[in-house]
Amino acid sequence: MRQENASRRGIGLAFVTALALALTASGRPMLAETGQGSNLFEQPKPPRQEWTFNGFFGRYDQAQLQRGFQVYREVCSNCHSLKLVAFRNLADPGGPGFSEAQVKALAAKYQIKDGPNDAGDIFERPGRPSDYFPWNFPNEQAARTALGAVPPDMSLLAKARSYERGFPLFLIDPIIQYQEQGPDYIYAILNGYTNDKDPNWNEYMPGHKIAMPMPLSDGAVDYEDGSPKAVQQYAKDVAAFLMWAAEPKLEERKRLGFGVLIFLSIYALLFFAAKNKIWSRPEAHVDLDTQ
Ligand code: HEC
């Protein structure tokens, strides 16, 4: 009898471990260090926003990603690079859903450095879908000289910027699949210019000093789908777009994570049924008792 209990406990333990592993795997990947960890503690926490990509069944809102891209292209890209995103990614499944033709036309609007050619020269040519977004600045030094600080590349910004949510939330977050700290933070920064006298004061920037003056203003981006042309809407849309840029496979990962959970649950039930069957054979009891 003791052995039976032990094996039941063993299986229970294995299941809980597997479940925990599955939750971790389907939850956020390890968050990158911000390098400002201790500072972040003194900041007010960015308020949590509603996102369509929240939770187990979260998905990106295609129209929102398209608007967010428009904000990136017309405003943020003047200073920030997006080095890891290629034009063709805008047509990938689970993304903003632009057509191949739209992507081609968009890419052609950019001039891309290429070469050297046969004569040994670097030259410029119109962009192709396979090219990556070029940066407005030739190098970081030029950007720092012009702007007072280097604007961080935006490809991974939504994943790289995070903050401590503290106990017990950091235990609960993987379970409720809270992984929107990045977009919450970006949204908060864009709405954090609350000191009228100092354009470089930001409530949510670590240390409150930010080299970037408020980049958005009402009406600055001309939406075509009737969404409000207002700072809060721009901020929300661009934060969602940057989340997609940092994690283009989010939908696939969530689907997979959920599938793994279902699989493990069924597996555990089968395991349990098999165990009951094996241990209920009368011979087994006899064997046990005589040993
Ligand atoms: C005029 C140039 C400029 C524009 C336009 C601009 N930024 Fe910035 N941004 C910067 C600079 C410079 C920094 C670095 C600030 C610092 O380190 O103090 C920065 C930093 C940031 C940060 C990071 C704060 C951190 O935690 O380090 C975020 C988020 C950000 N920008 C978002 C945006 C978004 C979104 C847009 C478009 C709506 C945008 N920026 C447009 C120049 C710009």
Statement: residue 129 has pLDDT above 70:
yes
The region of weakest confidence among 183-197, 241-255, 271-285 is 271-285
Residue 154 Cβ < 6 Å to ligand 1? no
215 lines ligand 1 (CB under 6 A): yes
Residue 213, pLDDT above cutoff 90: yes
CA distance 255 to 248: 13
pLDDT at 19: 54
80 CA from centroid of ligand 1 (Å): 7
Task: Measure the CA–CA gap between 84 and 73, rounded to whole angstroms.
Answer: 15
Q: What is the pLDDT of residues 158-206, one digit of tens each?
A: 887 766 667 777 767 766 666 788 999 999 999 999 999 999 999 999 8
Same structural domain for residues 70 and 162?
yes
Residue 55 is part of a domain; what is its CATH number?
A: 1.10.760.10
- Pick 14 or 254 by higher pLDDT: 254
Nearest Cα to Cα of residue 183 among 241, 266, 143? 241
Instruction: Mark whether 229 and 163 lie in a shared domain.
Output: yes
Residue 32: band (very low, low, confident or very high) from pLDDT cuts 50, 70, 90? very low
Q: Considering only CA atoms, which residue is closest to atom 13 of ligand 1?
A: 151
**Residue of minimum CA distance from atom 25 in ligand 1:** 205
What would the pLDDT profile of 48-85 be if each residue is shown by its tens digit? 999 999 888 889 999 999 999 999 999 999 999 999 99
Largest CA distance in the chain: 91
Please indicate, yes or no, whether residues 169 and 237 belong to a single structural domain of this protein. yes
Of the pLDDT bands very low, low, confident and very high (cuts 50, 70, 90), residue 27 is very low
- Note whether residue 273 is domain-resident: yes
Q: So what's the pLDDT on residue 7?
A: 55
The atom of ligand 1 lying closest to the CA of 143 is: 12
Decide if pLDDT at 144 tops 90. Answer: yes
Q: Which long-range contacts (CB under 8 A, 24 or more apart) does 20-25 make?
A: 22/257, 22/260, 22/261, 22/264, 23/174, 23/175, 23/257, 23/261, 24/174, 25/257, 25/260
Plot region of 198 (φ>0 → left; ψ -120 to 50 → alpha; else → beta): beta
Q: Is the CB of 149 inside a 6 Å radius of any atom of ligand 1?
A: yes
Question: Looking at ligand 1, which atom is closest to the CA of residue 234?
Answer: 38
Residue-level pLDDT at 189:
96
**Are residues 191 and 78 part of one domain?**
yes
Structure tokens at 89: 């990614």
Residues 171 and 91 in one domain: no
Give yes or no: residues 180 and 226 share one domain.
Answer: yes
User: Is the confidence at residue 3, as pLDDT, over 80?
Assistant: no
The verdict on the CB of residue 143 being under 6 Å from ligand 1 is: no
The pLDDT confidence band at residue 1, using thresholds 50, 70 and 90, is very low
Question: Closest ligand 1 atom to the C-alpha of 148?
Answer: 12
* Whether the predicted pLDDT of 44 surpasses 90: no
Residues 240 and 257 in one domain: no
Print the domain residue range for 259.
1-29+252-291
pLDDT at site 17: 57
Percentage of the chain with pLDDT > 70? 77
22 and 164 together in one domain: no
Residue where a domain stops, chosen among 98, 132, 166: 132
The alpha carbon of 139 and the centre of ligand 1 are apart by a number of angstroms equal to: 16
Query: Is residue 275 assigned to a domain?
Result: yes
Any domain includes 280: yes
Atom of ligand 1 nearest to the CA of 34: 26
Residue 137 lies in a domain: no
* C-alpha 286 to ligand 1 mean position (Å): 74
| Co-location of 74 and 115 in the same domain | no
Q: Tell me if 7 is assigned to some domain.
A: yes
| The pLDDT of residue 28 | 40
Q: How many CB atoms lie within 10 A of CB 11?
A: 15
Same domain, 162 and 237: yes
Q: For the chain, what is the domain count?
A: 3
Same domain, 41 and 179: yes
User: Would 138 be classed as within a structural domain?
Assistant: no
Quick one: pLDDT at residue 37? 43
Ligand 1: which of 204, 212, 237 to mutate, judged by most atoms within 8 Å of the beta carbon?
A: 212
d(CA 6, CA 263): 25
Report which ligand 1 atom has the smallest distance to the Cα of 186: 29
State residue 255's pLDDT score.
85
Q: Does any domain span residue 195? A: yes
Evaluate: CB of 182 within 6 angstroms of ligand 1. no
Query: What is the reported pLDDT for 167?
Result: 72
Residue 210 lies in a domain: yes
Helix 2-26 × helix 169-176 angle, to 10°? 80
Residues 156 and 63 in one domain: yes
